[in-house]
A and B are shown apart, each in its own frame.
Chain A
């Protein structure tokens, strides 16, 4: 079974509008972390935002916010006031602890969503 599922291969948004990129995850661990990364056409991976499973508040970083719904196992990224420079591939990723309780720091990535911002 997929650990991280991003069901939107591609999304389009008008400049200055908000957009939501979907991410659902599968884990039996109680302690885990969810990450979003941006990959522009140049190829580098840029960390955007993090949500811990025990965090009570949804994470926010500037124009990025994470809509965390733990019971539904979803961690959607919301980008407000889209800019042309937001056009990129976006990856959702999850870090789990092992059964022994040691955090290994390994990330499991989804397949990504390509976001295109239109002027």
Chain B
């Protein structure tokens, strides 16, 4: 089984709808992240969480909110979806206990299309 899972894998929604993307991990990592990927722009950080009680905005948090329900679960919500939120969304985890490396492990991604 995958260590980092995302649901749904694909989603089509309409402008103005509220949607939630979910991320679960079995790696036991405290740190979790949400990124979006747009063509030609690489990945950009939306929100990150260092533990259940710690949530921080990334560089493009407007229009998004998150919830860290447990160490293993981190959800991303679009309160009122708009077409320019069409993108590939990634969840990632990392373990600060690994010192300088602290590799981020990514989920498989969620392809979101907002019509």
Contact = CB atoms under 8 A, between A and B. Distances in A.
A107 B100 contact: no
B109 A111 contact: no
Contacts, number: 63
A40 to B, nearest CB: 11
Given A43-B88, A110-B42, A111-B41, A95 B102 contact: yes
Contacts of B31: 105
Nearest to B30: A105
Contact of B101 (A33, A104, A111): A33
Interface in A39-90: 43-47, 50, 52, 54
Interface residues of A, number: 25
Contact of B100 (A33, A43, A112): A33
A42 to B, nearest CB: 8
Nearest to B94: A105
Given A44-B109, A103-B96, A109 B43 contact: yes
A91 interface: yes
Contacts of B92: 45
Given A43-B88, A91-B43, A111-B41, A106 B105 contact: no
Interface of B: 31, 33, 40-45, 48, 50, 58, 88, 90, 92, 94, 96, 100-109, 111
Interface of A: 4, 31, 33, 35, 37, 43-47, 50, 52, 54, 91, 93, 95, 103-107, 109-112
